[in-house]
Amino acid sequence: MSDLYRSALQARISKLPMLPPEPDDDDEEAEAADSLGSLPSGIGPAPMQRTPNVDFAPISAASFFEQATQVAVPASGLDVRAYYTPPRFADGTVMVCHHGAGQSALTFACVAKEVTDMSRGECGVLALDCRGHGRTVRTNQSGSAEEDFAIETLTADFVNTIEAIFPDPTTAPTLLLAGHSLGGSVIVRACTLLQEQKYKITGVAVLDIVEEFTLEALPMMNNLLDVRPEGFDSQEAAIEWHVKTNAIRNPHSARVSVPAIIKPAPDDAPVGTPAHVWQAPLRLTAPYWTSWFTGLSSKFLSARTARLLVLAGTERLDKELMIGQMQGKFQLVVIPGVGHMLQEDDPTRLAEVLVEFWRRNERVIAGVKKVGER
């Protein structure tokens, strides 16, 4: 987990068939007010600045994706927020992205545009808000009022959403699954389930998550949440805080992604509550943290497709992955100068890595194995 790992451990101690366009400009403006990031590497109080800083004004997602819509997923009882740029060609690939805990699909906004540009439209990008995050909402309110964040539930949500968007596996585009942090655990589990349904999966790309180091860092997560601001006076203040604490090192990306991870404080909030509070209830997900990542390395190495692991530092490879790398079971790429949010910190370099991975494995000659295949 990049800087989160480092600080915690040192002290011993996270062409869609038919997606309609955005309904109107008002919704687009509201989009600029969406995003939820992972815990920062640098921790400190929220800025006390009262006048919003225009240098940190939100940027709409409209220039990064062609479409944004809500997808009804009855099997999961969800209305899922999807951002989509379809491939321009009938035989194109779609990269499906799953964000990490506390984030939103817009964490992939800058990467999505880079991927579609670099691939000249051959590779589209579909990014989804998972349950309890971004603009995805529950449609089935029966049962517990609290969200179920079990890894099995999140994986089923992902698979059910793919099936809702591409209902016929025989006509669906080839899929490349990419997941950041928690999203990495979801996509490696979903890969097998989608293949059982006859979807074509050209590869899985796991972004900055390694089982052993993550599990060692988890005991300090509550401490990190304790020192995180309760909220912010404005969207600009939230963006500024993420940039100045190095939670996100790329201001341009932060201006797109951060507004989606906060929301207006409820009307019945206690006096003194900031105008904007966090969207996702990270502390309520604590009972699930260990199960999210346990078994990740073995599941990644056993995925029946090409495998890519992208990290912000090589010191986080655990023993199982080190052995797997020496055996040539996956491709490893380290991106220097980035933190845990590597997809935001250096979207151009990550897009280069993902497009190269896609080209190498989607266009393979018959009989030639993909990267990581045995």
Residue 168 phi/psi, 5-degree rounding, is -110, 105
In angstroms, the CA 65 to CA 84 distance is 6
- Backbone φ, ψ for residue 139 (5° rounding): -105, -20
Check if the beta carbon of residue 339 is closer than 8 Å to that of residue 3. Answer: yes
**Helix ranges restricted to H, the chain:** 2-10, 25-31, 109-118, 151-165, 182-196, 211-217, 221-226, 235-244, 251-257, 289-293, 296-302, 319-326, 342-345, 347-362
Half-sphere exposure of 308 (CA within 13 A, CB side): 27
DSSP string for residues in 171-182: TSPEEEEEEETH
The single residue of 98, 133, 340, 346 carrying the catalytic annotation is: 340
C-alpha 361/C-alpha 371 separation (Å) is: 7
- Residue of 181, 185, 253, 257 marked active site: 181
Alpha-carbon distance 217 to 225, whole Å? 13
Q: Is 98 a catalytic residue?
A: no
CA dihedral 79, 209, 6, 248 (to 10 degrees): -40
Query: Among residues 3, 129, 157, 208, which one is catalytic?
Result: 208
Please count the CA atoms within 13 angstroms of the CA of 225 that sit on its side-chain side.
16
Active site residue 340: yes
- The count of C-alpha atoms lying within 13 angstroms of the C-alpha of 301, restricted to the half-sphere facing its C-beta, is 18
Does the active-site annotation cover 2? no
Catalytic residue IDs? 181, 208, 340
